[in-house]
């Protein structure tokens, strides 16, 4: 058995596909997740405010989480086209909360966004 000491290291880990997780809670301490919340994502604040041209939609599960993939933002999986700021609307039982994401790079891994709906 020999060691390669050339200074070149190979990465053996697979890249983690990018996901956007929206977690909805009913309390400011974020300890009470809310299930069955409708989560809509929009490209513009006008679309969000008018509830038109929904880019993607999901309902939260028992853990209060809705998970979106890169394909939900850009069907062609082009991260350069998908990068940017998005607008979120969450709704349950007539209670609506509008929010905005930070700039999403769509790199490998998971990005989390937390919303308190009360």
pLDDT tens digits for range 46-96: 999 999 999 999 999 999 999 999 999 998 888 899 999 999 999 999 999
The Cα angle at residue 24 between residues 60 and 84, in degrees rounded to 5: 90
SS3 at position 67: strand
Domain that holds residue 38: 19-116
* Position 106 pLDDT exceeds 70: yes
Phi-psi region of 100 (alpha: psi -120 to 50; beta: other; left: phi over 0): beta
The percent of residues above 90 in pLDDT, for the chain, comes to 80
**CATH number assigned to the domain comprising residue 84:** 2.60.40.10
pLDDT of residue 118: 92
Q: Is residue 36 part of a domain?
A: yes
The answer to whether residue 11 sits within a structural domain is: no
Domain membership flag for residue 7: no
Cβ pair 116, 103 in contact under 8 A: no
Selection from 76, 80, 81, 84 nearest residue 20 by Cα = 84
Angle (CA) 113 30 33, round 5°: 85
Per-residue confidence band for 117, with pLDDT thresholds at 50, 70 and 90: very high
Domains identified in the chain, total number: 1
Residue 75 lies in a domain: yes
Q: Is residue 96 part of a domain?
A: yes
């Amino acid at each position: 058995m020999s060691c390669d000491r050339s200074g070149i290291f190979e990465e053996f880990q697979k890249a983690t596909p990018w996901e956007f997780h929206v977690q909805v809670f009913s309390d400011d301490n974020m300890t009470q997740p809310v299930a069955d919340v409708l989560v809509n994502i929009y490209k513009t604040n006008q679309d969000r405010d008018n509830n038109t041209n929904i880019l993607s939609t999901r309902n939260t599960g028992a853990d209060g989480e809705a998970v979106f993939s890169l394909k939900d933002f850009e069907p062609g999986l082009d991260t350069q086209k998908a990068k940017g700021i998005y607008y979120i609307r969450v709704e349950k039982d007539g209670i609506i909360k509008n929010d905005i994401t930070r700039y999403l790079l769509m790199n490998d891994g998971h990005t989390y966004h937390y919303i308190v709906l009360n």
